[in-house]
Amino acid sequence: MPDIFYVLLRRMRTPLIVLIVVYSVAVLGFTLIPGQDAEGQPWHMSFFHALYVVSYTASTIGFGEIPYAFTDAQRLWMMFVIHLTVIGWLYSIGSLLTVLQDPAFRRLRTEYVFQRSVKRLRTPFYLVCGYGDTGGILIKALADEGIKAVVVDRDENRLNALELNDYIRRPLGLLADAAKPAVLEMAGITNSYCIGVIALTDSDQTNVMVALSAHLLNPNLRVLARVESAEAAASIRSFGKNEVINPFETFAGRLAMAIHSPGMYTLFTWMTGVPHEPLREPLFPDRGLWVICGFGRFGTALHRHLEAAGIPMQVIDPDPITNQTPAGAIIGSGVEATTLQQAGIKQAVGVVAGTNDDVSNLSILMTARELRRDIFMVARQNQRDNSVVFDRADIDLLMKRGDVIAHKIFALLRTPLISDFLETAREHDNDWANQMVSRILGVVSDEVPYLWEIKINKVRTPALYKACLMEQVQLRDLLRDPRERVKSLPAIPLLLKRDGKATMLPELDKPLEVSDRLLMCAAWPISDEMRWATQNENVLHYLLTGQETSGGDLWGRLLQNR
């Protein structure tokens, strides 16, 4: 039995005893006090009648004096009983309500309900620690994909927000400190349906603790942790097969990519987009001098990335000594026109407002626009709540930290092949990326491309699995339209993984083999058509041979015998 019942029973002891005593005293009194029957003979109430009278008196129903009119002695006792039982009931019900309202008891109850619902989960789920900006976007994306999530956060307001959000598959939330292993256990870290733990709290200490507990409690779990310091990252990487995400590094890397190879940036954003997100136009910033405002942890990472790409920069920072800015940095915040002019805004092609303060970032960009109308503006948005103003400011490239990280994690979770693809894509140049972008533009409409994985095995793709065992299936056959096989579906096979070796953009005449994994890219409705062919033997048969079979097994045998 869970703790909650013991607490309830223990607290209800006194009120229950009071009720028993009150009832027994009242009943006993009625049986002892003599009454008079209709003929005036002395009469004693039996326990049966006494209990009957007390029952309707105590519950305030009030039924009169039965079976005979009471004597004065009985009426006196009746008065006493009425008051006694009412007080007894009030006290007991009051105690029960007090117990139910008690904050400690309520916490126990919510924990109990949470624990029970976690135990009842019968679908794979992710355990997400921390429901901030990043966690919010990630959980929404997971919910839209139909993946369950269990959320642990210390902030009550955030959990309330989770409850108010309208998700298709409502995530379970628990108000607790994720740094405690007992909490993680309650949240289902040892549950066999838990497929991964994502640590997104704002404390490195907590994230390391989560990764460590996951490794010790359930070593097969996939762990993704957000970590800001190098030491914490190293400590998480040192055990298990964990993945570490440094928000500043990831974010700066993405921004640097947007500046030095915009085509690649567009490709990356599309690949890691959340399904059904509107497609953003490719960017075309010029090559030349960039002005970077703010040289904190983010600015440092950005500087390193840009320097590696050989892009000239001018740094503006209010505190060059503590932040260890490179030589030649301008002292100032960038919100004044003079510092921007000093930094050479007139010759620059772009400006990055990268401080950790949204107000300064907006102000920098407004000032820069005053000085030069056509400059390429990049803003870092720290707070999600500020979206309204940032969206209005007409900024060329808006980087939301929460978005970048949540999208990266989501892509890693949904299909691991995406990371293989992006890893290989990095080796190519911007022109290659531009070509890819235009190819993808050809197959999608106004939403980001939908990426999915086709795994040739018995369970997920039974028809394709069978076909691959019996005959040669080419990739081209899979891409045929199930409604008219001479046409091909607008989909791009991005990657083929066979025996741990990944092939980018596999040839269309490549024969498929069992246990191949394919990463496909198309508009969302197309994915369904292709899944249909991999699962339905008749459809696949039509794609391969052009012959239509509509029957089941029996029909097939008849045809063969003829």
Partner 1 sequence: MNSEKVVFGFFILLALTLNFGFFIGDIDNIAHHNVYELFAALVVSLIATVLKFGDRTHLGAIFLATSLVADLQLLMAALIWGYAAHISPTGLDTEATVAIVSFSGGALLANIVSVILLLAETMTVRR
Among 2, 17, 230, 389, binds partner 1 (CB under 8 A): 17
User: Whole-angstrom Cα distance, residue 534 to residue 515?
Assistant: 13
Q: Which is nearer to partner 1, 66 or 337 (CB)?
A: 66
Q: Which stretch binds partner 1 (CB under 8 A): 15-23, 262-270, 429-437, 452-460?
A: 15-23
Of 170, 115, 161, 114, the C-alpha closest to 142 is: 170
Q: For 336, which DSSP code? A: S
Q: How many residues lie near partner 1 (CB under 8 A)? A: 20
Query: Does 100 contact partner 1 by CB under 8 A?
Result: no
Q: For 356, which DSSP code? A: S
Q: Closest approach of Cβ 29 to partner 1, in Å? A: 12
- DSSP string of 376-411, one letter each residue: EEEEEE--GGGHHHHHHTT-SEEEEHHHHHHHHHHH
- DSSP string of 167-236, one letter each residue: -SSPPEEEES-TTSHHHHHHTTTTSTTEEEEEE--S-HHHHHHHHHHHHHH-TT-EEEEE--SHHHHHHH
Q: Which is nearer to partner 1, 21 or 234 (CB)?
A: 21
Of 308, 295, 290, 208, the C-alpha closest to 248 is: 295
Q: Closest approach of Cβ 235 to partner 1, in Å? A: 39
Q: Closest approach of Cβ 23 to partner 1, in Å? A: 8
Query: Does 31 contact partner 1 by CB under 8 A?
Result: yes
Query: Does 13 contact partner 1 by CB under 8 A?
Result: yes
Q: Closest approach of Cβ 16 to partner 1, in Å? A: 5
Write the binding mask 37 to 76 for partner 1: x where contact by CB under 8 A, - elsewhere: ---------xxxx---------------------------
Q: Which is nearer to partner 1, 21 or 87 (CB)?
A: 21
> Over the Cα atoms of the chain, what is R_g?
35
Instruction: Give the CA angle between residues 337, 343, 344 to the nearest 5°.
Output: 95
| Phi, psi (degrees; rounded to nearest 5) at 372 | -145, 120
Q: Closest approach of Cβ 379 to partner 1, in Å? A: 59
User: Whole-angstrom Cα distance, residue 362 to residue 158?
Assistant: 26
Among 12, 96, 441, 514, binds partner 1 (CB under 8 A): 12
Q: Closest approach of Cβ 105 to partner 1, in Å? A: 13
Q: Which is nearer to partner 1, 46 or 338 (CB)?
A: 46
User: Whole-angstrom Cα distance, residue 521 to residue 452?
Assistant: 7
Q: Closest approach of Cβ 98 to partner 1, in Å? A: 16
Q: Which stretch binds partner 1 (CB under 8 A): 9-17, 79-87, 482-490, 491-499?
A: 9-17
Query: Does 7 contact partner 1 by CB under 8 A?
Result: yes
Among 26, 27, 368, 526, binds partner 1 (CB under 8 A): 27
Instruction: Give the CA angle between residues 428, 313, 407 to the nearest 5°.
Output: 50
Q: Closest approach of Cβ 73 to partner 1, in Å? A: 18
* Half-sphere CA count of 48, side-chain side, radius 13 A: 1
β-pairing, 148-153 with 376-381? unpaired
Contact 35, 70 (CB under 8 A): yes
Of 242, 236, 185, the C-alpha closest to 208 is: 236
Q: Closest approach of Cβ 9 to partner 1, in Å? A: 4
Q: Which is nearer to partner 1, 66 or 559 (CB)?
A: 66
Cis amide prior to 67 (ω within 30 degrees) = yes
Q: Which stretch binds partner 1 (CB under 8 A): 1-9, 128-136, 471-479, 545-553?
A: 1-9
Q: Closest approach of Cβ 20 to partner 1, in Å? A: 5
Q: Which stretch binds partner 1 (CB under 8 A): 4-12, 54-62, 259-267, 300-308?
A: 4-12
Positions in the binding site for partner 1 (CB under 8 A): 6-13, 16-17, 20-21, 24, 27-28, 31, 46-49
